[in-house]
Amino acid sequence: MTNQSINLHIAPYTSRFSALKTATALALSTLVLSACSMPMHSTMADGEHSAMHGSNMSGMDAMNSNPFTAANARMMQGMHSNPPSGDVDYDFVVGMIPHHQGAVDMSTILLESGQADAELAALANEIITAQTDEMAFMETWLRDNPEPQPDARAAEIIQAYQAAMKTMMGGMHGGRDTDINTRYVTGMIPHHQAAVEMAEVVLEYSDDTLLRNMAQAVVREQNREISEMRDWLNRQ
Q: Is 78 contained in some domain? A: yes
pLDDT at 50 over 50: no
Residue 150 has pLDDT above 60, yes or no: yes
Looking at residue 168, what is its pLDDT? 79
CATH number at residue 202: 1.20.1260.10
Q: Tell me whether residue 138 is in a domain.
A: yes
104 is a domain residue: yes
What pLDDT shows up at residue 166? 85
Task: Give the Cα separation of 117 and 57 in Å (integer).
Answer: 30
The pTM of this model reads 0.72
For residue 155, being part of any structural domain is answered with: yes
The whole-number pLDDT of residue 20 equals: 36
**Which residue, 63, 168, 185, is CA-closest to 127?**
185
Domain of residue 152, residue span? 67-234
| Residue 96 CA, distance from chain mean position | 8
pLDDT surpasses 50 at 157: yes
Tell me, what's the pLDDT at 67? 86
Predicted confidence at residue 80, as pLDDT, reads 83
Does 25 reside within a domain? Answer: no
**CB-based contacts of 95: which residues, under 8 Å, 6+ apart?**
79, 82, 84, 161, 198
Closest CA to 100 of 53, 140, 133: 133
CA separation for the pair 45, 209 (Å, rounded) = 60
pLDDT of 19 > 50? The answer is no
Alpha-carbon distances of 196 from 157, 177, 221, 226, 235, rounded to whole Å: 15, 26, 9, 10, 24
Flag whether 80 is in a domain: yes
Answer for the pair 41, 55: CB distance below 8 angstroms, yes or no.
Answer: yes
Q: Is residue 81 part of a domain?
A: yes
pLDDT reported for residue 169 = 73
More confident residue, 56 or 143: 143
Q: Is 174 left (phi over 0), alpha (psi -120 to 50) or beta?
A: left
- Asked if the structure places residue 194 within a domain, the reply is yes
Q: Quote the number of domains for the chain.
A: 1
In tens, the pLDDT along 5-14 reads 444 433 333 3
Integer angstrom CA distances of residue 185 from 74, 86, 95, 121, 181:
19, 32, 22, 11, 6
